[in-house]
Structure 1
């Protein structure tokens, strides 16, 4: 059963999207949304029972490098710049009473 975009639905969309549209703009947007829904409904008619699910349309693998730490743990040098340090951590003033 085809879902019809009515005036009430269009008004709710405008409220949720915080849009202020003229009547002409609402009619145009309503027609465009109806076309989208009709297209999705048409796609639902396709038999995809023999199609293997996939997570992405491309078969490419991750081409990014591994996340490898190259500068190491330089805790002592970082703490040397701290105004105060306590037990190997930055010591800051208490901000909540």
Structure 2
């Protein structure tokens, strides 16, 4: 798919960008080259390739899910202006 200068000028007008004629021609050429590369990549046969989440077969080491800090809820909520059943009460914002 080739992009021409008029396409770039139309996009520039829609996005309210001031672009010179020379810059529009250069951008059109650059985008056309990128789209040609995408077409080349799409032509590659990937039918026997399984999708990967990451290119390396690395396994992430996970730590144990253990409580490492003491529960400080009571001391922290003692400073709050209003609490109820372990929750902070705040003024109503939306009526």
Please, what TM-score do these two structures have when normalized by structure 2?
A: 0.71
Q: State the match for 1:7 in structure 2.
A: 5
Q: Show structure 1 runs of 5+ residues with no match.
A: none
Please, what TM-score do these two structures have when normalized by structure 1?
A: 0.70
Q: State the match for 1:58 in structure 2.
A: 56
The answer to whether residue 18 in structure 2 is matched with residue 20 in structure 1 is yes
Counterpart pick for 2:30 among 15, 29, 32: 32
Using the TM superposition, give the Cα deviation of residue 89 of structure 1 relative to its aligned residue in structure 2, in angstroms: 1.9
Computed over aligned residues only, the root mean square deviation of the Cα atoms, in angstroms, reads: 2.8
SS in 2 for 1:40: helix
Shift of the 44–91 alpha-carbon distance from structure 1 to 2, 3 Å rule, reads closer
Q: Tell me which of the two structures has the higher relative contact order, counting C-alpha pairs closer than 8 angstroms and 6 or more residues apart.
A: 2
